[in-house]
Structure 1
Amino acid sequence: MGRKLPPFAAVRAFEAVARLLNVKAAADELCLSASAVSHQLRALEEYFDTALFERRGNKLSLTLTGRAYSEKMTTLLNSFDESTRSIREAGHRPFRVLCTPGFVARWLVPRLDRLSFGDRVRLRVSDGAPSLDFASNEADLVIQWTDAPASGVVTEPLMQSARYPVISPALKVKEAVDSPEDLCRLTLLHDETMDAWKTWFHSAGITPPVFPRGPTFPNCELATTAAERGQGVSLAYDAIVRATLAEGRLVRLFDTVVMPFVIYSVAYPQARAEDPMIREFSDWVHDEVAREDVAATSRSVESLTR
């Protein structure tokens, strides 16, 4: 059966008036005259044979039918707009990614040249939990902390990681750190987002010292940076600091870990789920994480067989 659709011009005029509740404002937005918009509204009401608005003097309000229809049409037209722009602008528009500082500095930037359109990526760093309000965050995609869901947003768990203590090589030698008990006398660097030192000490079978034993930072990246500078011991995420350890800027302490959990996920508007750049970027970061996990597992097996 063929689709039975109302005139698109009438639907577009209705959605604008329903959203603004003002014929003149809607006419200005659509670059039409107020009389033309009013004509489109009457045509749509005649098409449905029902009232979509209540008119009391100069005041305009939606009927129950009009309100239900307007919500669906706004969602539909937003999706239509996003899909159209994604096709028209693909190939030359920038791709805006909002991330946490640690993910950008230690994971994303070192790999960005492997993304086919990496030169067009515009990175923005959030000073707290990245906003998932895509109407205001000026982002195409967000790498968010953990995997909390949000209405109208697709959330794809990306990376899980264990945590373990890390220290600068110089401080390890200076303080002669040889056993987990040695940490009870050192400065510990805390992360106010998700501090897990007590959990780590319990896992190591040690009674935790009185906290805090050192400064508390707003996020794990600042705590890890302070550890690099020899200011204390940080509880770092393995998935984020592997390259830093390989470069010798930090040293892992002991085998005890805080068990893995999801630390990052990819989030983007549900209305743009088929946007080619979102799809390619999301597939790329998932592939990079999987590739690195395979490499890390291979290194662990190799070390055990030596």
Structure 2
Amino acid sequence: MRKRVPLNAIRAFEATARMSSVVKAADELCVTPTAVSHQIRLLEDFLQIQLFIRKNSRIELTTDARANVARITQALDLINEAVLCLEKSDEDVRRRLSVSASASVVSLWLMPRLSEFMKTAPEVDLNVRTFLSRKEAESQESDIRICNWQSQLDCQIEPLIEEEIIPVCAPEIAAQYGGNARDILANAPLVHVDRIQDGLDGTYPDWARYLTEYGVSRSDLSHGARFNQAGTAMEAADAGVGVILGRSLLIEKAIARGTLVPVAESYPIRSPYFMLSPWKTDGRETMQRFKDWIVGKVRTNELVHAI
């Protein structure tokens, strides 16, 4: 525990020692010379030592005081710098923004667009975080979360987008089956994504649900490459490993490039995404700017449908 030192008295002593004058110290501290002399006497009483030798109108530091005054000056400079940093912190907070989403959404949907936001808001210090599960997402600190579940957090929850599930594969695989959708679904190798079972991906169909919906029968539904993340599964499909139930949020760039092609109809049930943010955003214009920007990107997205 720190000893309670009289900071006002220390400031009076340091200013007087630095200027070798009570009058000049009083002017710097915006007090009277009498007040400075009083504070110095308080400090001498507190320390039980003499700090100055008074010779008529002149004062001189004692040996002990001279040995320590430089360190006291450095300490007061550090305090001053720290306080100035605190004065700037409100503005710094307004400029900072943390955004979190699943690793696949960040890498395949958000990242290709972020340069546009940063060009419109170059002063913003953006911190992008990823998560792999609902538990991880809701336990980490973040200003804005993009997630595909109805959270129980005490925050503002806004519908953002709906995502379609579309079977896609590399063009060369589609060509092997003449581009026939039923032949591709019935015979092409399947790529699987093992969904996390804590609510993060609970609304997405697997191959059994999708093929049943469209009356396609396969005896090898459990076979094929398996991945625990949608992003790496998409990379595998892009490399020609097989057909994947692609999430429209993640596959749009690959379809635009032509490295993946749609195979058949999308699953009839869409999966919603939500944007989570604090109830109160007073003084956080940066947060609202990002929210407005991302909603605008959703509205211009051809494969992802705005709610």
TM-score, normalising length from structure 2? 0.60
Q: 1:257 corresponds to which residue?
A: 266
Of the three residues 223, 233, 239, the one matched with 2:249 is: 239
Q: CA offsets, 1:231-276, max 9 Å, x none?
A: 111101223322210111111112x221242342211233447732
Q: 2:292 corresponds to which residue?
A: 283
Distance 1:91 1:274 in 2: 7
Of the three residues 135, 139, 142, the one matched with 2:142 is: 139
Q: 2:58 corresponds to which residue?
A: none
Name structure 1 gaps, 5 residues minimum: 1-23, 34-83, 298-306
Distance 1:274 1:264 in 2: 26
- Are the equivalent residues in 2 in contact too, given 1:100–1:129 (CA < 8 A)? no
- Map 1:218-233 → 2, pairs under 5 A: 218-233=228-243
- Map 1:1-306 → 2, pairs under 5 A: 88-90=91-93, 92-93=95-96, 95-115=97-117, 116-117=120-121, 120-129=125-134, 131-133=136-138, 136-144=139-147, 146-174=148-176, 176-193=178-195, 194-254=204-264, 256-272=265-281, 275-293=284-302
- TM-aligned CA distance change 1:155 to 1:175, over 3 Å: same
The number of aligned residues is 213
SS of the aligned residue for 2:150 comes to coil
Name structure 2 gaps, 5 residues minimum: 6-86, 196-203
Distance 1:200 1:112 in 2: 33
TM-score, normalising length from structure 1? 0.60
Cα RMSD (Å) of the superposition?
3.2
Distance 1:239 1:230 in 2: 20
Distance 2:223 2:93 in 1: 51
Structure 1 residue 288: Cα displacement: 0.7
- Are the equivalent residues in 1 in contact too, given 2:236–2:242 (CA < 8 A)? yes
Structure 1 residue 191: Cα displacement: 1.9
Q: CA offsets, 1:145-185, max 9 Å, x none?
A: x1312231222121102211111112323454423233222
Distance 1:167 1:234 in 2: 6
Instruction: Answer with 234-243 or 205-214: which moved more.
Output: 205-214
Q: CA offsets, 1:207-245, max 9 Å, x none?
A: 344421213322322221110011111101223322210
Q: 1:21 corresponds to which residue?
A: none
Q: 1:14 corresponds to which residue?
A: none
- Are the equivalent residues in 1 in contact too, given 2:174–2:263 (CA < 8 A)? no
